[in-house]
């Protein structure tokens, strides 16, 4: 039991480091406290209001995934705990990026405005929303990142399986 705790303690320290690094990156990128309200993003002529956890959650999983990939590569894939943390953070990162892709694809196809606008309630002909190229590009980029993370996660699952068979 004491051996398992000694092996798990460094992984917990790395997990806490990942949380602190995520808060630091959020502070640098957003410039305000992590849990306070929403993030207001102004792109060209569009104003986005996003809940902080929608950006904090993928950033945390990305930070954890990146730190443990580097740590596992340096240690030559020796610890089983690293594999499990990599698999868990990879799966949750793919899930959270899927959630972001879903939200961005809704913006890219329908826009943020509700049709028909309340000011034009008397008209029978409503304007067709045009696709937003920035949202489509960002959605495609996130889809590519999600695919790369999924391939990496499957690779680490394969490595975990082959190392378990050898033991």
Structural domain that includes position 152: 10-112+131-166
Is 67 inside a domain boundary? yes
Return the residue matching tokens 């033991």. 167
Lowest mean pLDDT among 19-33, 67-81, 126-140: 126-140
Domain annotation covers residue 52: yes
Categorize the per-residue pLDDT at 151 as very low, low, confident or very high, splitting at 50, 70 and 90: very high
Domains: count for the chain: 1
Predicted confidence at residue 114, as pLDDT, reads: 52
Q: What is the pLDDT of residues 28-77, one digit of tens each?
A: 877 766 666 777 766 666 676 777 777 788 888 999 999 988 888 887 77
Structure tokens at 5: 């705790």
Split at pLDDT 50, 70, 90, the class of 123 is low
Does any domain span residue 126?
no
* pLDDT for 28: 84
Tell me, yes or no, whether 3 lies in a domain: no
Rounded distance between C-alpha atoms, residue 86 and residue 160, angstroms: 10
| Residue 123 is assigned to a structural domain of this protein | no
**Domain annotation covers residue 152:** yes
> Is residue 124 situated within a structural domain?
no
CB-count burial class (<10 Å; 0-12, 13-18, 19+) for 135: buried
- CA nearest to 153, candidates 55, 68, 78: 68
- Whether 113 shows a pLDDT value over 60: the answer reads no
Residue 154: pLDDT over 70:
yes
Percent of the chain scoring above 70 in pLDDT: 75
């Amino acid at each position: 039991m004491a051996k398992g705790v000694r092996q798990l303690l460094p992984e917990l320290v790395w997990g806490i480091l990942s949380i602190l690094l995520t808060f630091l990156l959020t502070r640098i990128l957003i410039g305000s406290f992590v849990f306070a309200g929403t993030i207001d993003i102004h792109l060209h002529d569009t104003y986005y209001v996003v809940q902080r956890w929608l950006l904090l959650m993928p950033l945390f999983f990305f930070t954890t995934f990146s730190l443990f990939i580097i740590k596992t590569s340096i240690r030559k894939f020796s610890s089983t705990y690293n594999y499990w943390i990599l698999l868990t953070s990879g799966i949750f990162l793919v899930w959270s990026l899927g959630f972001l892709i879903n939200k961005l694809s809704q913006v890219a196809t329908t826009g943020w405005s509700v049709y028909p606008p309340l000011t034009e309630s008397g008209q029978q002909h409503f304007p067709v929303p045009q696709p937003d190229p920035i949202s489509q590009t960002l959605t495609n980029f996130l889809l590519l990142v999600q695919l790369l993370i999924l391939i990496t996660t499957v690779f680490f699952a394969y490595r975990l399986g082959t190392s378990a068979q050898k033991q």
